Structure formats: C-alpha cells, structure tokens
Amino acid sequence: MKIDLKKCALWLLPAILILLIDRLFKVLFYDASVILIPGVLALTGAKNTGMAMGLFAGHPVLLVLLSVALIAICLYFLRSYRITGLAAVSISLIAGGAIGNALDRVFLGYVIDMIEVLFIDFYIFNVADIGVVCGAFLCGFSLLFRSKEWSSK
C-alpha cells in the first residue's frame, strides 16, 4: 500500500497543531485567573466533568467512549473517502480536538477549560473545543459548497 505523504500532511498537520496548542494551553493555564481584554476575554482555569454545556457531567466513561467514537468516525472518513482540501482539514481539526479532550478525560477524569468570553454569558472552553467546533463548521461548509472535495474511493 502506497502512502501519499501530501495527503497525510493535509490531514495530520492540523490535528497535531490543535493537539499541541491544546496541551500547551492546558499546562500553562489550568489554574489561571487572568483578564486578557477587560470585558471581552479572560483565561479562567476550570475543571469540566461534562461535555458541551455540561452535558453528561459525572459520566467520564461515557464521555471517553463518545470521544473514541468521534475519532473513529473521523478516521473512517479519512480512510474511506478521497477527502481533499478544506474537507480534509475540517475532519483533522475535529479529530485533533477530540483526541485532546479524550486525553484529559482518560488521565484526569475531567477536561481542563480556560478560555472565557466575558461580554456574553457563555461557558468556559478550551483549544480542543475550538478545533471540534471549527472543524464541524468547515466540514458542513465543504459538504454544502465544495462537494468535489468529498469522493468515494
């Protein structure tokens, strides 16, 4: 089986970048309490035992299984389809974010969140969450407007 290094780099690099930046933020700001831009943005370390908006809080095994399922779905798409361009990057961002949060859940029992938007009443989140949400948005965009990037093998 021949490995296409360009294709691998297209989907592997964004996942690795999200994962590394997420780990760096979690190590540096796990217990932070710093206002970066008054009234706009702060770094506030928080332990999240749930997922988005606190769903399934206190059920770490279920959340690890959901993360593993999300990662498996991403790998399935990357292996089963000829995904290129923005579509490949979007799947990679989702996988990198899912791996980042899964590592926290497996080794800590919770996810470290630290990014707090101050001008609206919103949840604290992390870089992995940004990867998953941006990846999902870009995936939907590429499916709707760039369908040539998705083809079966």
Say which of 22, 31, 104, 129 is annotated catalytic: 129
Known catalytic residue at 31: no
Rounded to whole angstroms, how far apart are CA atoms 30 and 41?
A: 16
Say which of 4, 22, 113, 121 is annotated catalytic: 113
One-letter identity of residue 79: R
Known catalytic residue at 129: yes
Give first-to-last CA distance, the chain, whole Å. 14
Rounded to whole angstroms, how far apart are CA atoms 8 and 10?
A: 5
Give the catalytic positions in this structure. 113, 129
